[in-house]
Amino acid sequence: MSVQTHIIGVGGYLPERILSNEELSTMVDTSDAWIRERTGITQRHIVSEGQQTSDLGAAAAQQALDDAGISIHDIDALLVATTTPDMIFPSTASIVQYKLGGKGFPAWDIQAVCSGFVYGLAQADGMMRSGMFKRVLLIGAESMSRIVDWTDRNTCVLFGDGSGAVVLEAVATDSKEGGVIGSVLHCDGSYRHLLMAEHRYGGNAPGEKVDFRVDAAGVAAIEMKGNEVFRMAVKKLGEVVGEVLEKHGIKQSDVDWLIPHQANIRILKATAKKMKMPEEYMALTVDQHANTSAASVPLALNHLYRQGKFKTGNILLLEAFAGGFAWGANLVRWSK
């Protein structure tokens, strides 16, 4: 008998404020046509004044708990994947725990940027298979609008805010027909300069000049070498998809749903094409949500789930590429 990690609850939350391409074009030198052509994005959701990443995470988490039919008191651990924590410390996970009314069980943050949820699922799965936890609440939550330079048209058009969550349950079974099948994770810090957001402490070696850019509010802002990131993302995602399938003995044609990080429509289509997967079997939310970093994959999962797309036994492939560079993939056999 083995232990498998099953998804028993799914949730998502998007802030009420919507920033359209048209409105954005009044703030910076861009246009709806320019943004659509290069990214596929038409709008993004933006946090309201006073709304924190923990608020987004708690809302998505509560929906996932309700969907699972359990309360926060049934949870053994809480993980929040985020690049935009409420504060340096304590962890956003500890704040979400408090807002949900929980206490006592471990709660911590994961920082792998856009790959945070994929990393978190792999980490939670490993800990649950070991018998450490019975139920885990895994959240991806971001307020990316707070680290965007709203004068930089090359990056400010790309990002949005939101949160997605899943409740995971460890199930002892003789069957191999359900739950998380397995994961593959990678990172290569030599590419870190191509996509980053520095703060006042810098990321430089001793003696090197600390040179970073901030947005209008004085907050560290995202910097990206778009063309280089695009090329690496397509290459590495193609490799990791092949690797996770081969590792677990699953054919490409056996994958029912592709749930990729929602960064850019061109990257999504390139990945689907490489897998020879019809685009109608790929989650596509980038047009409405933009890039919500660690919230992207769980929000895309929630989007398909709420539409009733998944059937028992379906194989889901989750994958993401992020600053670091960090990238990875999870295989899940749907059992909810």
Same domain? For 197 and 57 the reply is: no
- Please give the average per-residue pLDDT across 190-209, as a whole number: 66
pLDDT of residue 220 exceeding 80: no
In terms of domains, do 281 and 309 share one? yes
Percent of the chain with pLDDT over 90: 77
Pair 229, 148 in one domain: no
Q: What is the pLDDT of residues 231-289, one digit of tens each?
A: 898 899 999 999 999 999 999 999 999 999 999 999 898 888 888 888 899 999 999 99
Main-chain phi, psi angles of 44, to 5 degrees: -150, 155
User: How does the average pLDDT of the chain come out, rounded?
Assistant: 91
Domain-terminating residue out of 131, 154, 173? 173
Domain end call among 141, 173, 205: 173
| Region 67-82 average pLDDT | 98
162 with 192, same domain?
no
What pLDDT score does 216 carry?
43
Q: Please check whether residues 231 and 264 belong to one and the same domain.
A: yes
Q: Which tokens hold the place of 77?
A: 């651990």
pLDDT in tens, 111-129: 999 999 999 999 999 999 9
- pLDDT, tens digit (0-9, with 9 covering 90-100), for 15-25: 999 999 999 99
Domain-terminating residue out of 118, 152, 173: 173
Lowest mean pLDDT among 137-141, 174-178, 322-326: 174-178
Q: Are residues 201 and 327 in the same domain?
A: yes
What is the number of structural domains in the chain? 2
Do 121 and 224 have their domain in common? no
| Same domain assignment for residues 211 and 310 | yes
Are 85 and 229 part of one and the same domain?
no
Residue/partner pairs of 85-94 with CB below 8 Å, 24 or more apart: 85/53, 85/109, 86/52, 86/53, 86/54, 92/53, 92/54, 92/57, 92/141, 93/139
Rounded to the nearest angstrom, the gap between the alpha carbon of residue 140 and the centroid of all alpha carbons in its chain is: 6
Instruction: Tell me which DSSP letter residue 1 carries.
Output: -
Please give the pLDDT value at position 73.
98
48-62, 65-79, 121-135, 162-176: which range is least confident on average?
A: 162-176
Strands 161-173 and 17-20: unpaired
Strand segments (E) across 22-73: 43-46
Same domain, 242 and 291: yes
CA–CA separation, 150 and 23 (whole Å): 12
The boundaries of the domain holding residue 70 are 2-173
pLDDT given at position 271: 85
According to the model, what pLDDT value does residue 199 have? 65
d(CA 187, CA 134): 29
70 and 141 belong to one structural domain: yes
Q: Which residue has the tokens 């999504």?
A: 268
Same domain, 56 and 133: yes
The pLDDT assigned to 70 comes to: 98
Question: Closest by alpha carbon to 240, among 275, 266, 269, 273?
Answer: 275
The enclosing domain of 284 has a CATH number of: 3.40.47.10
Tokens standing for 23? 């409105």
- Structure tokens that stand for 12 in this block: 């998502």
Catalytic residues: 114, 261, 291
The pair of structure tokens assigned to 301 is 């999962």
